[in-house]
């Protein structure tokens, strides 16, 4: 559920893929003599290249800098894989001068889950608050095979979402609902 990580992965893999493809392709072009017959017989590491750093003391400093930059970027890339967009707090502060108001996300998600579970045809619910370009609620709703999907949607959007938005005092609080039809034939939750 971390779209940002997926986008970053695709971009970085594309860049690395293109780099490897270009390096390998150019090397093969040299080896088959496409860039000059004589070059194909040359050593992969010619003398003038291997002795280049001897006369240029800055060379290894530059290489070290580049390697450290790669290490930092690789670390950031690695951390992206471990990050989750879920958040545990909601900032409800309207004016920082009057103080800060935060709400535990679990208080909100528990209330949303309880209300959604009360809808006929809903078998299970899980709600999470995510932080990506602002906060939004992700609601996963399991539906019984016999559920009236239209009715469930209407109640989710007109009741559950409305109450949620009242709770966070934001009439436009973004919500994503994922319906999961094809669950059990009858609702598993017993009404008490």
Partner 1 sequence: MTATNWVTRVVSALLALALLLGSLLAVVEIVAAALGRDHVLVPYPRWTDWLRTHSWNDRIVEALLGGLVVLGLLLLLLALHRGKPASLALRSRTDGVDVTASRRSLQKSLAAAAARTTGVTGASASVGRRSARVDARTVSRSEPGIREEVESAVRGRLDSLGTKRRMRTRVALTTKDTR
> Which residues of this protein are in contact with partner 1, per CB under 8 A?
1, 5-6, 9-14, 16-25, 27-28, 30-33, 39-45, 47, 50, 60, 63-64, 67-68, 70-71, 73-75, 77-78, 80-81, 140, 142-143, 145, 149-150, 153, 157-158, 161, 172-183
Contact 105, 138 (CB under 8 A): no
The distance of closest approach from Cβ of residue 151 to partner 1 in the complex, given in angstroms and rounded to an integer, is 10
The distance of closest approach from Cβ of residue 24 to partner 1 in the complex, given in angstroms and rounded to an integer, is 3
The distance of closest approach from Cβ of residue 89 to partner 1 in the complex, given in angstroms and rounded to an integer, is 21
Separation of CA 30 from chain center? 41
Classify 155 as helix, strand or coil.
helix
CA-wise closest residue to 4 among 81, 71, 73? 81
Nearer to partner 1, 15 or 100 (CB): 15
Place of tokens 């999961």: 180
Distance of alpha carbon 191 from alpha carbon 96, whole angstroms: 44
Nearer to partner 1, 100 or 163 (CB): 163
The distance of closest approach from Cβ of residue 159 to partner 1 in the complex, given in angstroms and rounded to an integer, is 11
Distance of alpha carbon 39 from alpha carbon 41, whole angstroms: 5
């Amino acid at each position: 559920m971390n779209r940002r990580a997926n986008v970053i992965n695709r971009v970085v893999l594309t860049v690395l893929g293109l780099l490897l493809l270009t390096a390998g392709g150019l090397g093969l072009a040299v080896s088959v003599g496409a860039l000059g017959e004589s070059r194909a017989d040359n050593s992969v590491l010619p003398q003038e290249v291997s002795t280049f750093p001897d006369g240029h003391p800055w060379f290894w400093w530059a290489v070290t800098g580049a390697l450290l930059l790669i290490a930092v970027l690789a670390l950031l890339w690695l951390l992206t894989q471990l990050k989750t967009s879920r958040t545990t707090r909601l900032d409800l502060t309207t004016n920082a001068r009057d103080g800060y108001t935060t709400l535990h996300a679990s208080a909100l998600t528990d209330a949303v889950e309880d209300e959604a579970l009360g809808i006929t045809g809903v078998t299970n619910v899980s709600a999470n608050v995510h932080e990506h370009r602002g906060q939004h609620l992700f609601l996963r709703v399991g539906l019984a095979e016999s559920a009236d999907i239209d009715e469930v949607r209407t109640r989710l959007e007109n009741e559950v979402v409305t109450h949620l938005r009242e709770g966070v005092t934001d009439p436009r609080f973004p919500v994503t609902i994922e319906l999961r039809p094809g669950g059990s034939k009858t609702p598993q939750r017993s009404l008490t």
